[in-house]
Structure 1
Amino acid sequence: MSSHANRGVVYRGAGKVNVESIPFPELALGNRQCHHGVILKVLTTNICGSDQHMVRGRTTAPEGLVLGHEITGEVIECGRDVEFVKKGDIVSVPFNVACGRCRTCKRGDTHICLNVNGDRAGGAYGYVDMGGWVGGQAEYVMVPYADFQLLVFPDKEQAMEKILDLTMLSDIFPTGFHGCYMAGVRPGSTVYIAGAGPVGLAAAMSAQLLGASCVIVGDMNEKRLDQARSFGCEGLDLKQDASMSELIEGILGVPEVDCAVDAVGFEANCHGHNHSHEQPATVLNATMEITQPGGQVGIPGLYVTEDPGASTEEARHGNISMKFGLGWAKAMSFHTGQTPAMRYQRQLMQAILRDRAPIGKAVNVQTISLDDAPKGYAAFDGGAAQKFVIDPHGQLA
């Protein structure tokens, strides 16, 4: 298979990505064979807000990194030890690289696998500090630990019919769901979602699946707020000059919600007339203000240990000014970290296949070619109310 050509989206410094020829993947990990891996022909691979942080130069991502951790593909080669995944299967790849053998994987915490990253717990494809795994914004990619990791779609024809929904299973749908689940969303809950980007919209749909009575999505981008409103959410324009409690009270009649989700992360801006001023902890502080005493906050939004583009020296090293005393006084719970995508994939797949979760419509999917990936990054960075899905082989048309 190594005679095949391959191309991928490569990070070339702040603000720049190129589509370049890259090596065709091999069933190898360094100098040893990867008998438990497979090679995929990539069917869809999505641009994520986490990718955008790197491309903006807000992480320590090295130049030359092949991007992409949201991967859906067709198996074209299996390693010797792969038993249950077959050539021709269409599969979703959880963005967490996980071995299935370590103690954290065995308890279901695949987002903090101990064996896939030499620097710290947890690995991911095409992402800074996450083990050096080659990303999947490419024509072909290698996936290790295939029997453990891959979610095989039960019917190939059905999978292709719903591919623009199923492609969200690799990351943002499980991530949004995890944020809501860990925030304690239950039937009848009132929920605040910070951010109307793709993860925030996925969280909003997840809150609805979990039975929330009212889902409020806050953002400063009117087109993204309209997208949230399109499937029954309350859109909250954060450019208004009022406290967060007042804004919530204007919708609910009371100044608090049952639970909240931070789908923004460290590149957050203040609300109100200072909305162009970056303040990394503003969403965390807002959720503490508006969440009921004893409530929970899910934090799937990304926070980093090093931010070269931060406005203060403290923030450059991941130190942000949280009002933690407020959260302590209110006996609140916070759940952070990447999402163990495998924990939710199968259930969410079933919701998609049975027409319970039109997630592609909710996040406003826009398919683009591999060659148009740089344009997709630029549009996303400009605030487009779309989720860009790359079609590397032109198979979706």
Structure 2
Amino acid sequence: MASNRGLAYVKPGVVELRDIAFPELALGDRKCHHGVILKIVSTNICGSDQHMVRGRTTAPEGLILGHEITGEVLEKGRDVEYLEVGDLVSVPFNIACGRCRNCKEQQTGICTNVNEARPGAAYGYVDMGGWIGGQAEYVMVPYADFNLLKFPDKDQALTKIRDLTLLSDILPTGYHGAVTAGVKPGAVVYVAGAGPVGLACAASCHLLGAAVVIVGDLIPERLAQARSFGCETVDLRKDASLADQIAQIVGVPEVDCTVDCVGFEARGHGHSHSVEQPATVLNAAMEVTRAGGGIGIPGLYVTGDPGGVDDNAKIGNLSIRIGLGWAKSHHFTTGQCPVMKYNRNLMQAILYDKIKIADAVNVQVISLEDGPSGYQDFDKGAAKKYVIDPHGIVAA
């Protein structure tokens, strides 16, 4: 039997590398004829993983982490028709059947057949169907013909793997936030959060033709990373209001669109920046977005948060000033990104050098053994996107 190792969530603040079972083409006690086993080429640490590792979800001990996966087909099931052993593929973090109503309407983030608990599933994530994560050496992917994006030229793809690895989640997620907020040529956009998703969103805003992209964060190194590819920035530690800082950049205290790339662990602005205030970003977005503008919300909000600041926050009940959004006729879009809606076109943008996403998010390649330290550094606010290279393929 071949061996396999994966990064496991042990307890808040602790991730360790463990020996785990080699994947099988099986779903419980039945064969998964529509699946493939992948040798993982790259797998990324995500801010959503970090929520679990901080103990801010109900994730169980021993959960194998990782929903951002790129891999090589090692074995395929009997019913897989359009993929071959050796193909290099991107794995959308959404697990989707391709058969239900939502999948057929391109809403693959809320497939109704892959998670008994609720619509939508993901690899290695709490309450998302119990699927084994991909921060490992090998993983099983179901519904392979539907889910997987094959790179047309394997050798070419490997030369751009630091960029293409981001197709599994953060680039489509950032792009989805921008699209749903209404970003278009000439738009003035505020992106809340300069973590990897926020930076990917800012780069996507440029791809979509935005005139000005303003990124806000509390960490100077992340703001510097945003400036490195042409963004304006606001330092949310300052006592000057967000609206005033925006006015200093564009002359008026408002923007056309806002994208919330922070989520439920948001902190206050100004003198209260050290205090968690989970509704801060949403309320600030309504304040600074012009009447008739849009707010995209790819940042994660949860229904269960053991570390919430109060009883309401622990069940995802936040003090949102929805009356302001209603009065300004804002439109809001929430939820997981349906990766398959965007990943093929974004792949083309990468392959034809229309976006340098690895540079924008500052990809740092590490080994599987260095995964636990990668989590620690990321938790400290490192202005990097950690890409795990289990077999040394990316480094080579």
TM over 0.5: yes
Contact preservation (8 Å) 2:66, 2:123: yes
Q: Which residue of 2 aligns with 1:206?
A: 204
Please give the alpha-carbon distance, in whole angstroms, between the structure 2 residues aligned to 1:283 and 1:315: 14
Q: Which residue of 2 aligns with 1:116?
A: 114
5+ residue gaps in structure 1? none
Q: Does 1:247 align with 2:245?
A: yes
Using the size of structure 2 for normalisation, the TM-score is 0.99
Q: Which amino acid aligns with 1:221?
A: I
Q: Which residue of 2 aligns with 1:386?
A: 384
Contact preservation (8 Å) 2:283, 2:321: yes
Please give the alpha-carbon distance, in whole angstroms, between the structure 1 residues aligned to 2:102 and 2:276: 35
Please give the alpha-carbon distance, in whole angstroms, between the structure 2 residues aligned to 1:101 and 1:258: 37
Q: Which runs of 4+ in 1 moved over 3 A?
A: none
Q: Which residue of 2 aligns with 1:148?
A: 146
Contact preservation (8 Å) 2:162, 2:394: no
Contact preservation (8 Å) 1:204, 1:215: yes
Aligned-residue offset at 1:250: 1.0
Aligned-residue offset at 1:395: 1.6
Using the size of structure 1 for normalisation, the TM-score is 0.99
Please give the alpha-carbon distance, in whole angstroms, between the structure 2 residues aligned to 1:377 and 1:105: 33
Summarize the alignment of residues 345-356 of structure 1 with structure 2, pairs less than 5 Å apart: 345-356=343-354
Q: Which residue of 2 aligns with 1:90?
A: 88
Please give the alpha-carbon distance, in whole angstroms, between the structure 1 residues aligned to 2:7 and 2:49: 11
Q: Which residue of 2 aligns with 1:59?
A: 57
Identity score, percent: 68
Alignment coverage as a number of residue pairs: 395
> Which residue of 306, 317, 320 maps to 1:319?
317
Q: Which residue of 2 aligns with 1:228?
A: 226
Q: Which amino acid aligns with 1:390?
A: I
Summarize the alignment of residues 28-47 of structure 1 with structure 2, pairs less than 5 Å apart: 28-47=26-45
Please give the alpha-carbon distance, in whole angstroms, between the structure 1 residues aligned to 2:224 and 2:243: 22
Contact preservation (8 Å) 1:244, 1:289: no
Q: Which residue of 1 aligns with 2:68?
A: 70
Structure 2 counterpart SS, 1:267? coil
Aligned-residue offset at 1:273: 1.1
Q: Does 1:260 align with 2:258?
A: yes
Structure 1 counterpart SS, 2:11? coil
Please give the alpha-carbon distance, in whole angstroms, between the structure 2 residues aligned to 1:396 and 1:96: 24
Q: Could you give the per-residue CA deviations for residues 202-221 of structure 1, whole angstroms, max 9, x where no partner exists?
A: 00000000000000000011
Structure 2 counterpart SS, 1:207? helix
CA RMSD after TM alignment:
0.5
5+ residue gaps in structure 2? none
> Which residue of 178, 181, 197 maps to 1:180?
178
Structure 2 counterpart SS, 1:313? coil
Please give the alpha-carbon distance, in whole angstroms, between the structure 2 residues aligned to 1:210 and 1:323: 29
> Which residue of 276, 280, 283 maps to 1:282?
280
Contact preservation (8 Å) 2:234, 2:242: no
> Which residue of 2, 5, 11 maps to 2:3?
5
